Amino acid sequence: MNENKHPSVSIIIPTYNRANLIGETLHSVFAQTYQDFEIIVVDDGSTDNTAEVLRPLAETGRIKYIRQDNQGASAARNRGIREADGIYIAFLDSDDLFEPTKLELQVNYYRKHPELGLVHSGFTKFNFANNDLGYRDTSWFSGNVYPKILGYWTTLMAMDTVIVARNVFDSVGLFDSNLVHGEDLDMWRRIARKYPFGFVNRSLARIRVHEGNISRERLNAADGLAKYLEKAFEDDPSLSSGFKRRAFSNLYSTMAYNLVGENGRPAMQAARQNAKLSIRYNPLNPHAYISFISTFIGSGARKSLVTQWRSLRSAVMSRKRAN
């Protein structure tokens, strides 16, 4: 790690009650092949022993530790950006991991293409048993992606894969802490309006899946993401009403699809509601009808179909990464 006042990269890690995981997260940063960075951990009002776990690292200067009252992840990231000295800003959630060459590859890429608004990469999901759940290819988000970025929901960019030049935030502003869902998407679309994106076709981050929270998050996601889309279209009235309808339809059909693999009546009711909303916005969206019909299939057959589809998608993405 560089001891100079102005490192190349500031890595911002918001955390809340992750004392049992943040050590592994930090180790993945310390193990980077590129060492010109500072680490800013923003403790968003943790009630566990996070402060005690991090105190030795803060006292020895390996991390900059900031504690604030609980305000949410966006406010914590904004605090980190304001405190950052780096030319580039990278983000890492306190339960996820960087791959060892993450900073080296992305900093080199950015230096060759300084016109970019951000550089991101593919990522791999894994669970608490450390089982690999497959590569996610986000290469679609490359070049000039606005306004198409508003209508694409299949495989989204991950916060941990992104590195942004510090001066980009001076141009587009900080994260919107009023958004409960989609605050990252809101930032990416604001950057996309002004800058092209760069992409490194490798898994440079590992995203931990908290399986117990999946259903609740998916049940509540649609309303929050709809607020993000409403904000996006209010910000850019030049976008057509037809494009807006298709974007909302794609949002709701994707949310319906994400719920189809879940069990229980609430999930199926939410999936049907989302599918109906998707059809209302765009009656020609076939994915909405497929998701709606799937909710009436038995849970075993439905889950099997979703598992097969996701396995096929992972295999296709892995082949694309290899090529």
Q: What is the CATH number of the domain that holds 28?
A: 3.90.550.10
| pLDDT exceeds 70 at position 306 | no
Average pLDDT, the chain: 91
Which of 209, 225, 247 terminates a domain? The answer is 209
Q: What are the pLDDT digits (tens) for 223-259? A: 999 999 999 999 999 999 999 999 999 999 999 988 8
Shared-domain flag, residues 120 and 233? no
pLDDT at 234: 98
2 located within any domain: no
Shared-domain flag, residues 117 and 183? yes
Give me the mean pLDDT over the 39-50 stretch: 97
- In angstroms, the Cα distances linking 287 to 22, 174, 251 are 39, 34, 11
Task: Read off the pLDDT band of 315 (50, 70, 90).
Answer: low
Which residue segment(s) compose the domain that 247 sits in?
213-322
Shared-domain flag, residues 205 and 228? no
Shared-domain flag, residues 128 and 274? no
Which of 209, 236, 268 terminates a domain? The answer is 209
Give me the mean pLDDT over the 156-163 stretch: 97
Q: What are the pLDDT digits (tens) for 177-214? A: 999 899 999 999 999 999 999 999 999 999 998 765 45
Q: What are the pLDDT digits (tens) for 75-126? A: 999 999 999 999 999 999 999 999 999 999 999 999 999 999 999 999 999 9
Closest by CA to 156, choosing from 173, 171, 136, 172, is 136
What does the buried/exposed string (b/e) look like for 278-311 if buried means 16 or more CB atoms within 10 Å of the residue's CB? bbebbeebebbbebbebbeeeeeebeeebeeeee
Shared-domain flag, residues 46 and 180? yes
112 located within any domain: yes
* pTM, entire model: 0.91
3-class secondary structure, 231: helix
Shared-domain flag, residues 241 and 125? no
Looking at the structure of the chain, the number of domains it has is 2
Shared-domain flag, residues 160 and 235? no
Shared-domain flag, residues 296 and 264? yes
1 located within any domain: no
pLDDT at 304: 72
